[in-house]
Amino acid sequence: IVPENENSFSWQPRLEGSWPTLGEFDTAVDRLTEFISKLPEWYDADPEQIYLMGFSQGAAASFALAIREPERIKGIASLVGFVPREVEAAMDAARLADLPVFMAVGTEDDRVPLEIARESGKAVRAMGAFLEYREYETGHKLNGEGMRKLRQWWAERAADAEQW
């Protein structure tokens, strides 16, 4: 899933010094929900085994969907992403209880500052997720070490799914 404009790279306008709130991802979450609901008719997809992976704002949209509908999502891979602001109620309700989450963060990221990424990791833990949080010496991208760890994380999820 990508933002509506084919030449676009974000779900929300990027405003310096401002961070999107959970509510600002409602449109993205609606689109993701619609897409996920059609997966079984388009592909041989098990609607009980939906994992999300997002880069930057795509990761934020993934978190927003999981907070809104935690029963739909089996796990999240967040690549240099963040958790939107205003998730305190979700933290209090442990909305992501036991959800496996992989967060890869760039220590030199000029788009998602390290402080925001670290706060996002704390929020994910506070929501009850089983978080694997990794920081890599890179910018707003995933380096080779991060890719290897991501591949390992996915392999573990696939092994878990085979046990069902």
The predicted pLDDT at position 13 comes to 57
User: For the CA atoms of the chain, what is the radius of gyration?
Assistant: 15
Average per-residue pLDDT for the chain: 90
Contact (Cβ atoms closer than 8 angstroms) between residue 11 and residue 4: no
**Domain with residues 22-162, CATH architecture:** 3-Layer(aba) Sandwich (3.40)
Using the structure block, give the residue that is written with the tokens 């989450």: 101
Rounded to whole angstroms, the maximal C-alpha distance in the chain is 45
Provide the pLDDT confidence category of residue 163 given band limits of 50, 70 and 90. low
Predicted confidence (pLDDT) at residue 1 exceeds the cutoff of 80:
no
Q: What does DSSP assign to residue 97?
A: T
Provide the pLDDT confidence category of residue 161 given band limits of 50, 70 and 90. confident
- Report the C-alpha gap between 72 and 150 in whole angstroms: 22
Predicted confidence (pLDDT) at residue 4 exceeds the cutoff of 90:
no
pLDDT digits (tens, 9 = 90+) for 8-21: 555 555 555 678 99
Tokens of 103: 């967060």
pTM value is 0.90
pLDDT digits (tens, 9 = 90+) for 67-119: 999 999 999 999 999 999 999 999 999 999 999 999 999 999 999 999 999 99
